[in-house]
Structure 1
Amino acid sequence: MKNKQTHDHAHLQETQIDSTQVYRGKLLDVRFDRIQLPDGHESTREYVLHQGAVVIIPLLDSGELIFERQFRYPLGKAFLELPAGKIEPGEDILNTATRELLEETGHSASEWRYLGVMHPCIGYSNERIEIYLARGLQLESGQQLDHGEFLDVLNLSLDDALHAIRSGEITDGKTITALFWAEKVLSSGW
Protein backbone atom coordinates (compact mmCIF):
# COMPACT_ATOMS: atom_id res chain seq x y z
CA MET A 1 0.00 0.00 0.00
CA LYS A 2 2.86 2.38 0.78
CA ASN A 3 4.22 2.08 -2.76
CA LYS A 4 0.74 2.56 -4.21
CA GLN A 5 0.24 5.72 -2.13
CA THR A 6 3.62 7.12 -3.19
CA HIS A 7 2.89 6.33 -6.82
CA ASP A 8 -0.70 7.63 -6.75
CA HIS A 9 0.38 10.89 -5.12
CA ALA A 10 3.75 11.48 -6.76
CA HIS A 11 2.67 15.01 -7.67
CA LEU A 12 2.71 15.85 -3.93
CA GLN A 13 6.14 14.35 -3.14
CA GLU A 14 8.80 16.51 -1.50
CA THR A 15 12.45 15.47 -1.91
CA GLN A 16 15.22 15.94 0.64
CA ILE A 17 18.22 17.93 -0.62
CA ASP A 18 20.15 17.86 2.66
CA SER A 19 19.52 17.25 6.35
CA THR A 20 21.06 18.75 9.49
CA GLN A 21 20.72 17.28 12.97
CA VAL A 22 19.88 20.23 15.23
CA TYR A 23 19.62 18.31 18.51
CA ARG A 24 19.91 14.70 19.67
CA GLY A 25 18.58 13.70 23.10
CA LYS A 26 17.50 10.49 24.81
CA LEU A 27 14.05 10.65 23.21
CA LEU A 28 14.14 13.16 20.36
CA ASP A 29 16.23 13.76 17.25
CA VAL A 30 15.46 17.22 15.82
CA ARG A 31 16.19 17.81 12.13
CA PHE A 32 16.30 20.77 9.76
CA ASP A 33 16.09 19.76 6.09
CA ARG A 34 16.31 21.61 2.85
CA ILE A 35 13.82 20.13 0.39
CA GLN A 36 12.64 20.40 -3.18
CA LEU A 37 8.91 21.02 -3.55
CA PRO A 38 6.80 19.33 -6.25
CA ASP A 39 6.99 22.49 -8.38
CA GLY A 40 10.82 22.47 -8.28
CA HIS A 41 11.22 25.30 -5.75
CA GLU A 42 13.19 24.84 -2.52
CA SER A 43 11.92 25.14 1.04
CA THR A 44 12.80 23.90 4.52
CA ARG A 45 11.26 21.46 6.97
CA GLU A 46 11.84 21.19 10.72
CA TYR A 47 10.80 17.91 12.28
CA VAL A 48 11.40 15.42 15.08
CA LEU A 49 12.41 11.79 14.60
CA HIS A 50 10.93 9.49 17.25
CA GLN A 51 11.39 5.73 17.72
CA GLY A 52 7.66 5.14 18.14
CA ALA A 53 5.44 3.96 20.96
CA VAL A 54 2.58 1.64 21.83
CA VAL A 55 -0.68 2.33 23.64
CA ILE A 56 -2.58 -0.47 25.33
CA ILE A 57 -6.33 -0.76 25.93
CA PRO A 58 -6.35 -3.11 28.95
CA LEU A 59 -9.82 -4.67 29.26
CA LEU A 60 -10.60 -6.28 32.61
CA ASP A 61 -13.05 -9.20 32.88
CA SER A 62 -15.44 -6.74 34.60
CA GLY A 63 -15.57 -4.71 31.38
CA GLU A 64 -13.64 -1.82 32.88
CA LEU A 65 -10.48 -0.43 31.33
CA ILE A 66 -7.25 0.26 33.19
CA PHE A 67 -6.08 3.86 33.04
CA GLU A 68 -3.26 5.79 34.61
CA ARG A 69 -2.85 9.34 35.77
CA GLN A 70 0.58 10.79 35.14
CA PHE A 71 2.14 14.26 35.38
CA ARG A 72 3.29 15.53 32.01
CA TYR A 73 5.95 18.18 32.44
CA PRO A 74 5.56 20.08 29.11
CA LEU A 75 1.95 20.96 30.03
CA GLY A 76 2.51 21.16 33.79
CA LYS A 77 -0.36 18.93 34.86
CA ALA A 78 -1.46 15.33 35.41
CA PHE A 79 -3.27 13.59 32.55
CA LEU A 80 -5.64 10.63 32.46
CA GLU A 81 -4.25 8.19 29.88
CA LEU A 82 -4.19 4.59 28.79
CA PRO A 83 -0.92 2.74 29.51
CA ALA A 84 1.73 3.40 26.88
CA GLY A 85 5.43 3.50 26.32
CA LYS A 86 8.19 3.97 23.80
CA ILE A 87 9.52 1.20 21.61
CA GLU A 88 13.14 0.41 22.40
CA PRO A 89 15.49 0.18 19.37
CA GLY A 90 15.01 -3.19 17.68
CA GLU A 91 12.17 -4.21 20.02
CA ASP A 92 9.12 -6.03 18.68
CA ILE A 93 6.02 -3.87 19.25
CA LEU A 94 4.08 -6.64 21.01
CA ASN A 95 7.03 -7.06 23.39
CA THR A 96 6.86 -3.31 24.06
CA ALA A 97 3.13 -3.55 24.81
CA THR A 98 3.61 -6.56 27.10
CA ARG A 99 6.49 -4.89 28.95
CA GLU A 100 4.72 -1.56 29.40
CA LEU A 101 1.47 -3.12 30.65
CA LEU A 102 3.37 -5.11 33.28
CA GLU A 103 5.64 -2.22 34.32
CA GLU A 104 2.91 0.39 34.59
CA THR A 105 -0.05 -1.64 35.89
CA GLY A 106 1.39 -4.92 37.19
CA HIS A 107 -0.86 -6.88 34.78
CA SER A 108 -0.16 -9.46 32.11
CA ALA A 109 -2.59 -10.37 29.32
CA SER A 110 -3.36 -13.75 27.76
CA GLU A 111 -4.89 -12.24 24.61
CA TRP A 112 -3.46 -9.43 22.49
CA ARG A 113 -5.16 -7.92 19.45
CA TYR A 114 -3.38 -5.44 17.24
CA LEU A 115 -5.82 -2.70 16.21
CA GLY A 116 -3.82 -0.23 14.15
CA VAL A 117 -1.44 2.68 14.17
CA MET A 118 -1.83 6.41 14.64
CA HIS A 119 0.51 9.27 13.78
CA PRO A 120 -0.10 11.97 16.40
CA CYS A 121 1.98 14.85 15.01
CA ILE A 122 2.23 14.47 11.22
CA GLY A 123 3.18 18.10 10.68
CA TYR A 124 6.41 17.92 12.67
CA SER A 125 7.23 14.33 13.66
CA ASN A 126 7.46 10.81 12.27
CA GLU A 127 6.19 9.37 15.57
CA ARG A 128 3.87 6.42 15.29
CA ILE A 129 1.83 4.86 18.08
CA GLU A 130 0.80 1.22 17.69
CA ILE A 131 -2.55 0.34 19.31
CA TYR A 132 -3.25 -2.95 21.11
CA LEU A 133 -6.27 -4.35 22.93
CA ALA A 134 -5.26 -6.59 25.86
CA ARG A 135 -7.70 -9.11 27.35
CA GLY A 136 -7.46 -11.92 29.84
CA LEU A 137 -5.71 -9.66 32.32
CA GLN A 138 -4.10 -11.06 35.41
CA LEU A 139 -2.46 -9.08 38.19
CA GLU A 140 1.09 -10.42 38.37
CA SER A 141 2.75 -7.97 40.72
CA GLY A 142 2.80 -4.37 41.75
CA GLN A 143 3.95 -1.71 39.35
CA GLN A 144 7.54 -1.93 38.15
CA LEU A 145 7.95 1.68 37.14
CA ASP A 146 11.04 3.03 35.45
CA HIS A 147 13.34 5.27 37.50
CA GLY A 148 11.72 8.71 37.71
CA GLU A 149 8.29 7.43 36.63
CA PHE A 150 5.32 8.11 38.92
CA LEU A 151 1.70 7.32 38.13
CA ASP A 152 -1.59 6.27 39.65
CA VAL A 153 -3.58 3.33 38.23
CA LEU A 154 -7.39 3.44 38.10
CA ASN A 155 -10.24 1.66 36.35
CA LEU A 156 -13.03 3.24 34.30
CA SER A 157 -15.88 1.85 32.28
CA LEU A 158 -15.79 2.62 28.56
CA ASP A 159 -18.83 4.90 29.02
CA ASP A 160 -17.08 6.82 31.81
CA ALA A 161 -13.96 7.15 29.66
CA LEU A 162 -15.97 8.48 26.73
CA HIS A 163 -17.69 10.92 29.07
CA ALA A 164 -14.22 12.03 30.27
CA ILE A 165 -13.36 12.85 26.65
CA ARG A 166 -16.57 14.84 26.18
CA SER A 167 -16.02 16.73 29.44
CA GLY A 168 -12.41 17.54 28.59
CA GLU A 169 -10.88 15.43 31.37
CA ILE A 170 -9.17 13.21 28.76
CA THR A 171 -7.37 15.27 26.14
CA ASP A 172 -4.43 12.97 25.35
CA GLY A 173 -4.51 12.17 21.62
CA LYS A 174 -3.30 8.56 21.84
CA THR A 175 -5.89 7.79 24.51
CA ILE A 176 -8.73 9.39 22.53
CA THR A 177 -7.75 7.48 19.39
CA ALA A 178 -7.40 4.19 21.28
CA LEU A 179 -10.80 4.72 22.93
CA PHE A 180 -12.34 5.29 19.49
CA TRP A 181 -10.97 1.87 18.53
CA ALA A 182 -12.14 0.35 21.84
CA GLU A 183 -15.66 1.65 21.35
CA LYS A 184 -15.86 0.20 17.83
CA VAL A 185 -14.29 -3.15 18.75
CA LEU A 186 -16.33 -3.67 21.90
CA SER A 187 -19.71 -2.41 20.66
CA SER A 188 -19.64 -3.08 16.92
CA GLY A 189 -17.36 -6.09 16.62
CA TRP A 190 -14.80 -4.37 14.40
Structure 2
Amino acid sequence: MNRFEEKTVVSEKIFEGKIISLRVDDVELPDGKRAKRELVDHPGAVAVIAITDDGKLVLVEQYRKALNRSIIEIPAGKIEPGEDIAITALRELEEETGYGANKFEYLQSFATSPGFANEIIHIFVAQGLYKIDKPAAGDEDEFIQLYECTIEEAEEMVQDQRIYDAKTAFAILHAKKLLKH
Protein backbone atom coordinates (compact mmCIF):
# COMPACT_ATOMS: atom_id res chain seq x y z
CA MET A 1 0.00 0.00 0.00
CA ASN A 2 1.20 3.48 -0.83
CA ARG A 3 1.52 5.58 2.32
CA PHE A 4 0.04 8.57 0.46
CA GLU A 5 -2.91 6.68 -1.03
CA GLU A 6 -6.30 8.36 -0.96
CA LYS A 7 -9.07 5.76 -0.76
CA THR A 8 -12.23 6.57 -2.70
CA VAL A 9 -15.28 6.44 -0.44
CA VAL A 10 -17.86 7.79 -2.92
CA SER A 11 -17.50 8.72 -6.59
CA GLU A 12 -20.14 10.77 -8.41
CA LYS A 13 -20.02 11.37 -12.18
CA ILE A 14 -21.29 14.90 -12.82
CA PHE A 15 -20.71 15.23 -16.58
CA GLU A 16 -20.28 12.86 -19.53
CA GLY A 17 -19.03 14.50 -22.73
CA LYS A 18 -17.73 13.40 -26.12
CA ILE A 19 -14.11 13.50 -24.96
CA ILE A 20 -14.04 13.82 -21.19
CA SER A 21 -16.14 13.06 -18.16
CA LEU A 22 -16.04 14.81 -14.82
CA ARG A 23 -16.50 13.31 -11.40
CA VAL A 24 -16.23 14.31 -7.77
CA ASP A 25 -14.69 11.76 -5.43
CA ASP A 26 -14.94 11.81 -1.65
CA VAL A 27 -11.67 10.34 -0.44
CA GLU A 28 -10.19 9.20 2.84
CA LEU A 29 -6.76 10.71 3.35
CA PRO A 30 -3.80 8.85 4.88
CA ASP A 31 -4.50 10.54 8.23
CA GLY A 32 -8.12 9.34 8.21
CA LYS A 33 -9.66 12.73 7.36
CA ARG A 34 -11.88 13.21 4.32
CA ALA A 35 -11.54 15.47 1.28
CA LYS A 36 -13.16 16.04 -2.12
CA ARG A 37 -11.33 15.61 -5.44
CA GLU A 38 -12.67 17.06 -8.68
CA LEU A 39 -11.36 14.80 -11.47
CA VAL A 40 -11.33 14.67 -15.26
CA ASP A 41 -11.45 11.25 -16.93
CA HIS A 42 -9.84 11.24 -20.38
CA PRO A 43 -9.31 8.32 -22.80
CA GLY A 44 -5.65 9.24 -23.41
CA ALA A 45 -3.81 10.70 -26.33
CA VAL A 46 -0.81 10.28 -28.58
CA ALA A 47 1.71 12.74 -29.96
CA VAL A 48 4.35 12.39 -32.65
CA ILE A 49 7.83 13.89 -32.81
CA ALA A 50 8.09 13.97 -36.61
CA ILE A 51 11.55 14.73 -37.99
CA THR A 52 12.21 15.27 -41.69
CA ASP A 53 15.27 13.84 -43.47
CA ASP A 54 16.85 17.30 -43.38
CA GLY A 55 16.46 17.48 -39.58
CA LYS A 56 13.39 19.68 -39.27
CA LEU A 57 10.52 19.22 -36.84
CA VAL A 58 7.03 18.95 -38.29
CA LEU A 59 4.65 21.08 -36.23
CA VAL A 60 1.05 22.20 -36.51
CA GLU A 61 -0.65 25.40 -35.44
CA GLN A 62 -4.21 25.27 -34.26
CA TYR A 63 -6.60 27.25 -32.10
CA ARG A 64 -7.03 25.94 -28.56
CA LYS A 65 -10.28 27.22 -27.08
CA ALA A 66 -9.22 26.39 -23.51
CA LEU A 67 -6.39 28.94 -23.95
CA ASN A 68 -8.35 31.27 -26.26
CA ARG A 69 -5.41 31.38 -28.67
CA SER A 70 -3.52 29.49 -31.32
CA ILE A 71 -0.42 27.54 -30.38
CA ILE A 72 2.14 25.53 -32.32
CA GLU A 73 2.42 21.88 -31.32
CA ILE A 74 3.62 18.48 -32.41
CA PRO A 75 0.88 16.45 -34.15
CA ALA A 76 -1.34 14.82 -31.53
CA GLY A 77 -4.78 13.42 -30.92
CA LYS A 78 -7.16 11.42 -28.78
CA ILE A 79 -7.14 7.64 -28.69
CA GLU A 80 -10.38 6.15 -30.01
CA PRO A 81 -11.99 3.36 -27.94
CA GLY A 82 -10.16 0.07 -28.53
CA GLU A 83 -7.59 1.65 -30.83
CA ASP A 84 -3.93 0.65 -30.51
CA ILE A 85 -1.82 3.69 -29.60
CA ALA A 86 0.60 3.15 -32.51
CA ILE A 87 -2.33 3.15 -34.96
CA THR A 88 -3.66 6.33 -33.34
CA ALA A 89 -0.27 8.00 -33.69
CA LEU A 90 0.14 7.03 -37.35
CA ARG A 91 -3.42 8.19 -38.06
CA GLU A 92 -2.86 11.55 -36.38
CA LEU A 93 0.45 12.04 -38.21
CA GLU A 94 -1.29 11.44 -41.54
CA GLU A 95 -4.43 13.46 -40.80
CA GLU A 96 -2.63 16.49 -39.38
CA THR A 97 0.48 16.61 -41.58
CA GLY A 98 -0.10 14.45 -44.66
CA TYR A 99 3.02 12.45 -43.79
CA GLY A 100 3.68 8.77 -43.27
CA ALA A 101 6.87 7.39 -41.72
CA ASN A 102 9.28 4.60 -42.66
CA LYS A 103 10.72 4.58 -39.14
CA PHE A 104 8.22 4.82 -36.31
CA GLU A 105 8.88 3.98 -32.68
CA TYR A 106 7.35 4.44 -29.26
CA LEU A 107 9.34 6.73 -26.97
CA GLN A 108 7.49 7.04 -23.65
CA SER A 109 4.26 8.02 -21.92
CA PHE A 110 3.50 10.57 -19.23
CA ALA A 111 0.64 12.21 -17.35
CA THR A 112 -0.38 15.60 -18.68
CA SER A 113 -2.11 17.12 -15.64
CA PRO A 114 -1.97 14.62 -12.75
CA GLY A 115 -3.38 17.06 -10.20
CA PHE A 116 -6.88 16.76 -11.66
CA ALA A 117 -6.89 14.55 -14.80
CA ASN A 118 -5.97 10.94 -15.62
CA GLU A 119 -4.94 11.69 -19.23
CA ILE A 120 -1.82 9.83 -20.32
CA ILE A 121 -0.09 10.89 -23.52
CA HIS A 122 1.99 8.39 -25.48
CA ILE A 123 4.88 9.88 -27.45
CA PHE A 124 6.22 8.40 -30.68
CA VAL A 125 9.14 9.38 -32.93
CA ALA A 126 8.59 9.37 -36.71
CA GLN A 127 11.51 9.55 -39.14
CA GLY A 128 11.98 8.67 -42.79
CA LEU A 129 8.93 10.80 -43.53
CA TYR A 130 7.19 10.68 -46.88
CA LYS A 131 4.22 12.61 -48.25
CA ILE A 132 1.01 10.62 -48.67
CA ASP A 133 -0.73 11.29 -52.01
CA LYS A 134 -4.26 11.31 -50.61
CA PRO A 135 -4.01 11.57 -46.81
CA ALA A 136 -6.96 10.76 -44.59
CA ALA A 137 -9.04 13.81 -43.77
CA GLY A 138 -8.70 15.27 -40.31
CA ASP A 139 -11.54 16.14 -37.97
CA GLU A 140 -14.09 18.42 -39.64
CA ASP A 141 -13.89 20.91 -36.75
CA GLU A 142 -10.07 21.06 -36.81
CA PHE A 143 -8.25 23.81 -38.70
CA ILE A 144 -4.48 23.34 -38.93
CA GLN A 145 -1.47 25.14 -40.39
CA LEU A 146 1.60 22.96 -41.04
CA TYR A 147 5.14 24.12 -40.17
CA GLU A 148 8.56 22.59 -40.64
CA CYS A 149 11.28 24.24 -38.59
CA THR A 150 14.75 23.74 -37.20
CA ILE A 151 15.36 22.98 -33.54
CA GLU A 152 16.66 26.53 -33.11
CA GLU A 153 13.47 27.97 -34.60
CA ALA A 154 11.38 25.73 -32.35
CA GLU A 155 13.34 26.90 -29.30
CA GLU A 156 12.60 30.50 -30.30
CA MET A 157 8.91 29.60 -30.49
CA VAL A 158 9.09 28.30 -26.92
CA GLN A 159 10.75 31.56 -25.82
CA ASP A 160 8.09 33.76 -27.43
CA GLN A 161 5.34 31.33 -26.29
CA ARG A 162 4.04 30.35 -29.72
CA ILE A 163 4.86 26.86 -28.43
CA TYR A 164 3.12 26.76 -25.08
CA ASP A 165 2.43 23.13 -24.18
CA ALA A 166 4.47 20.56 -22.26
CA LYS A 167 4.36 17.75 -24.83
CA THR A 168 5.89 19.98 -27.52
CA ALA A 169 8.54 21.40 -25.18
CA PHE A 170 9.43 17.79 -24.28
CA ALA A 171 9.52 16.91 -27.99
CA ILE A 172 11.97 19.71 -28.74
CA LEU A 173 14.33 18.55 -25.99
CA HIS A 174 14.20 14.96 -27.24
CA ALA A 175 14.56 15.91 -30.92
CA LYS A 176 17.58 18.07 -30.09
CA LYS A 177 19.22 15.04 -28.48
CA LEU A 178 18.32 12.81 -31.46
CA LEU A 179 19.67 15.27 -34.00
CA LYS A 180 23.06 15.56 -32.25
CA HIS A 181 23.83 11.97 -33.25
Matched, 1:185 2:160: no
Matched, 1:107 2:95: no
Contact (CA 8 Å) 1:55, 1:178: kept in 2 or not?
A: no
* Partner deviation per Cα, 1:30-59 (whole Å, 9 max, x = no partner): 010011100111111101000000110111
Aligned with 1:159 (options 137, 141, 152): 152
Contact (CA 8 Å) 1:107, 1:141: kept in 2 or not?
A: no
Unmatched runs of 5 consecutive residues or more in structure 1: 1-6
| Alignment match, 2:30 | 38
* Partner deviation per Cα, 1:130-158 (whole Å, 9 max, x = no partner): 11110111100355221111111110111
Instruction: Give TM-score scaled by structure 1 length.
Output: 0.90
Aligned with 1:95 (options 87, 106, 110): 87
CA–CA separation in structure 2 for the residues paired with 1:142 and 1:80: 24
| Alignment match, 2:77 | 85
Instruction: Give TM-score scaled by structure 2 length.
Output: 0.94
CA–CA separation in structure 2 for the residues paired with 1:181 and 1:16: 37
Matched, 1:134 2:126: yes
Cα deviation, residue 104, structure 1: 0.8
CA–CA separation in structure 2 for the residues paired with 1:183 and 1:117: 19
Matched, 1:168 2:169: no
**RMSD of Structure 2 on Structure 1 (CA):** 1.3
Contact (CA 8 Å) 1:106, 1:139: kept in 2 or not?
A: yes
| Alignment match, 2:8 | 16
Higher helix proportion (structure 1 or 2): 1
* Partner deviation per Cα, 1:35-84 (whole Å, 9 max, x = no partner): 11001111111010000001101111111111111011122211111100
| Alignment match, 2:142 | 149
Secondary structure, aligned partner of 1:122: coil
| Alignment match, 2:61 | 69
Moved over 4 A (4+): none
Contact (CA 8 Å) 2:55, 2:179: kept in 1 or not?
A: no
2:161 is aligned with what amino acid? G
Most deviating of 121-130 and 176-185: 176-185
Contact (CA 8 Å) 1:113, 1:132: kept in 2 or not?
A: yes
Unmatched runs of 5 consecutive residues or more in structure 2: none
Secondary structure, aligned partner of 1:75: coil
1:152 is aligned with what amino acid? Q
CA–CA separation in structure 2 for the residues paired with 1:73 and 1:99: 23
Overall identity of the aligned pairs, in % = 38
Secondary structure, aligned partner of 2:3: helix
CA–CA separation in structure 1 for the residues paired with 2:165 and 2:45: 14
1:114 is aligned with what amino acid? Y
